[in-house]
Chain A
Amino acid sequence: MTRRSKTPLAWKNLTHDWRRLAAALAGISFAVLLMFTQVGFQNALFDSQVKVIDDLQGDIFLVSKAKYTLAAEKRFSISRIHQAQSCSGVQGAYPLYSELTTSVLREMDRGIGTRGFPLRTLGFYLDDPIFQSEEIKTKLHRLRAPGTALIDAKSKKKKFNFPMQDEAKLAQYSLELANKNLTLVGTFNLGTDFAHDGNLVMNAENFAKYFPHRKRFGDPLSVVDIGIVHVQKDFSTGEVIEILKKTLDDDVFVLSRENFRAAEIEFWDKSTPIGTIFLAGKLIGFVVGMVICYQVIYSDIAEHMSEFATLKAMGYKTSFFIQLIVVEALLLSVIGFIPGTIFSRLLYEWLAGQTGLLMLMTVPGIVFVFAMTVTMCVASGLLAVRKLLAADPASLF
């Protein structure tokens, strides 16, 4: 029979010495911060990576089977788009063009180019419903002129340090994209990711002029990076995907929005060392927290060995002591988690401002870090409890 102790011994022991408690909380908060940072960066990477997908309209996406990630410049023929347009259930199919390696933007200083940096240029027909962003929609008319583009206001400041807030000033900038003059006629918001330091959007005709060599021979617009398919109202996406798969040649993937997103995230998680690096980072946070937590609980036990031995002599069972330490560990994890989360939140905001990455504290992220915190505290408590169980009441006399 284990009676639940009414004297809150775990709480009292924990809070008795406020200096040690503060040190413990600082340590656990630090571990929480470490883990949150890793989770945040990882999510930011993944979310940023697929931000462009989230910003596109459309229900079904077509990509070349050779395109293993958005940044891979593998294209498919425009004829797939035409094929898709003729399929039943398809309201419309539109091409989206993308260029990265040759899309180098440089600022001109009195006729002499400064060092340029590559960024992603997205080209599309202005009449096609491509972007969800209202910002782009309202500025579409500005893109009709030759040599114009909108620039992503979140592009990396270090490389693209333009007056993003002031569009009039921006238009005065003398720039070259792929060695041809470019006028920035406004901004939009997309955000950077690990492969792209900035973004431009422009009209497809302009796009063809800037990047005429996309296809060695022939029309540069005849090779498409992403095909965007809108489904008719009375058709389900699943149905249309099946139809497209049957109809289209075998060189493209037909993906739903979710699958497209998931495939991109999976590439970064599994096919690059990034997933492993972040896992290692999280583990380091976990281990640091565990060591700190073990130290706190162990020293609490070590300092009270004779008191615990007395409780043993009185007839308290092993289960009582394990429960006591587990409660202590849980309390530590909860009260260490709160300040850790607050600090992490602040850090996220700062990092988001600095890097343009999407640092979001998501519910799954919070749940994950909290679970890790509880696990690390309880595990270290259970490691330390062996010391307590070794308390020998015979040594008291």
Chain B
Amino acid sequence: MPSLTTIPATSGAFVGDLQLPKTVKVQNLNYFFGEGELRKQALFNNNLEVRRGEIVIMTGPSGSGKTTLLTLIGTLRTTQDGSLKVLGNELQGCDRDLIVRVRRQLGFIFQAHNLFESLTAYQNVNMAAELAGLDPMIAEGRIKSLLTRLGLGERIHYKPKSLSGGQKQRVAIARGLVHKPKLILADEPTAALDEKSGREVVTLFQELARDEGCTIIMVTHDNRILDVADRIINMVDGQIKSDVAVQEASVICDFLKEIPLFDHQTPNTLAKIADQMMVQEAESGDTIIRQGDPGDLFYLIRNGTVEVRVHDGKQERTVAELKEGQYFGEAALITEEPRNATVVAKGKAIFYALEKKDFREVLERSASFEEELRQALFGRQ
């Protein structure tokens, strides 16, 4: 029987093309600051996968380790324990040359603009273009169009001293983007910008993600730009508490909504249920549950089809065929009785499974729907 993985259903890791390249792959990553007595763990056993072209927003209170994780991904810190792959390169124990090679494929946008006061906007951006070895003619065109796009067309040859804070930040953004990085790491890129230019920047991010397959990871508290996120990661105390592919989460919620058991749950509760589900894979012919076994999981079919077979003492017969969006395994959990049927995968399939205790918790919670409503109203104060 295929076993349950520890990959959350909402991570979206198993949707569509299973082999989509991963821009970032973090496995069991730990990180410590300091030495000896003062050694303090900043990251605890983190796992994360970010696919090509995704826009990821990292949130979390300060000190939660999101910046540490971002600098590790950006090769700005040396990995200590665990595995970290960026653009296909294992950074654990790699040499300086590899780090430099990886860095040149990254685009950094820092909270501070860090522009050279002695160089014009154009020259500052050109520092990145030159490093990438762009043809000067092409580089010139790109720099000018980027700066113009960011509303600095009139100020291309101004020095930072003559630019406002927001304008400087936009120059820094242009510098981070000019060499067409494969991965952009941004720290509060829109914090210094007004609504309109902030929107322009995230639209630019979306275009890069869509047209060039550029992956973007940003730390932000700016909820005006949450809507562009493909994935939202929340970190608390050095651990990724939730890693949600926004679209996949909404697909799961849509599936769950259709299940009579959950039909009176609030979207908030459905999202929580989705968060608790884990991925399970099955090959053709794998038995997912066997009649007579004790029930431990509730299954939602994400991909593929299954056959439900019942053995009536003499022979086994197929009673139903279930497909994407449908579910099974709930009866044994509700009635606390053994499984009343066998489910076998027809072809490759992916399930999202919910553990018995979580499932029961939801059922009990649904009884206190009114209570939840009260809580919600109370929380508005």
**Contact residues of A with B, CB < 8 Å?**
3, 5-7, 9, 12-13, 15-16, 304, 306-307, 309-311, 313-317, 392-394, 396-397
Taken together as a complex, chains A and B put the C-alpha atoms of A314 and B136 apart, in Å, by 18
Query: Across the two chains, which residue of chain A brings its CB closest to B108?
Result: A313
Which residues of the other chain, B, contact A16 by a CB distance below 8 angstroms? 117-118
- Chain B interface: which size bin? 20 to 34
Asked whether A12 lies within 8 Å of B67 as measured between CB atoms, the reply is no
Report B-chain residues with C-beta under 8 Å of the C-beta of A315. Answer: 100-104, 106, 131
Beta-carbon contact of A394 and B77 below 8 Å: yes
B34 within 8 A of A: no
Q: Is the CB of A314 within 8 A of B133?
A: no
CB distance from A84 to the nearest CB of B (A): 72
B303: interface (CB < 8 Å): no
Known contacts: A397-B67, A397-B111. The answer to whether A12 contacts B119 by CB under 8 A is yes
Of residues 118 to 177 in B, which have CB atoms within 8 Å of A's CB atoms?
Answer: 118-119, 123, 126-128, 130-131, 133, 136
Interface 1/0s, chain B 87-118, versus A by CB < 8 A? 00000000000001111101010111011111
CB of A393 within 8 A of CB of B76, answer yes
CB distance from B236 to the nearest CB of A (A): 18
Give the residue of A7, A309, A311, A397 whose beta carbon is less than 8 angstroms from that of B187: A397
**Is B74 part of the binding interface, using a Cβ–Cβ cutoff of 8 Å?**
yes
Q: Does B5 contact A (CB under 8 A)?
A: no
B346-367 CB contacts (< 8 Å) to partner A: none
13 contacts between A and B (CB under 8 A): A6-B126, A9-B127, A12-B119, A16-B117, A306-B112, A310-B110, A314-B127, A315-B106, A316-B131, A392-B76, A394-B71, A396-B108, A397-B219
In the complex, what residues of A have CB within 8 A of residue B110's CB?
A: 310, 396-397
CB B133 to nearest CB in A, in angstroms, measures 6
In the bound complex, residues from chain A placing their C-beta under 8 Å from that of B126 are 6-7
A316 to B70, CA, bound (A): 19
> 15 new A-B pairs (CB below 8 Å) besides A306-B114, A313-B76, A397-B76?
A5-B130, A6-B136, A7-B127, A12-B123, A16-B118, A307-B116, A309-B114, A311-B127, A314-B103, A314-B104, A314-B127, A393-B76, A396-B110, A397-B67, A397-B111
Minimum C-beta distance from A308 to chain B (A): 9
Q: From residue B174, how far is it (CB to closest CB) to chain A in Å?
A: 13
Complex alpha-carbon distance, A52 and B242, angstroms: 94
Chain A neighbourhood of B108, CB < 8 A: 310, 313-314, 396
Query: What is the interface of chain B, defined by CB distance below 8 A to chain A?
Result: 67, 70-71, 74, 76-77, 100-104, 106, 108, 110-112, 114-119, 123, 126-128, 130-131, 133, 136, 187, 219
Across the interface, B76 reaches (CB within 8 A) one of A9, A306, A396, namely A396
Residues of B with C-beta under 8 A to A317: 100
- Decide: A313 and B104 in contact? CB cutoff 8 A: no
User: B130 near A307 (CB under 8 angstroms)?
Assistant: no
A15 to B100, CA, bound (A): 30
Q: Which residues of B contact A316 (CB under 8 A)?
A: 131
**Nearest A residue to B111 by beta-carbon distance?**
A397
Identify A9's interface contact among B71, B102, B119, CB under 8 A.
B119
B128: which of A12, A307, A314 is its contact (CB, 8 Å)? A314
B304 CB → nearest A CB, Å = 42
B318 to chain A, nearest CB (A): 57
Does A12 lie within 8 Å of B118, measured CB to CB? Answer: yes
Checking B101, B114, B133 against A310 with a beta-carbon cut-off of 8 angstroms, the contacting residue is B114
Closest to B136 in A: A6
| Neighbouring B residues of A15 by C-beta, 8 Å | 118
Across the A-B interface, the 9 shortest Cβ-Cβ residue pairs: A16-B118, A315-B103, A315-B104, A12-B118, A394-B76, A310-B114, A393-B76, A394-B71, A396-B110
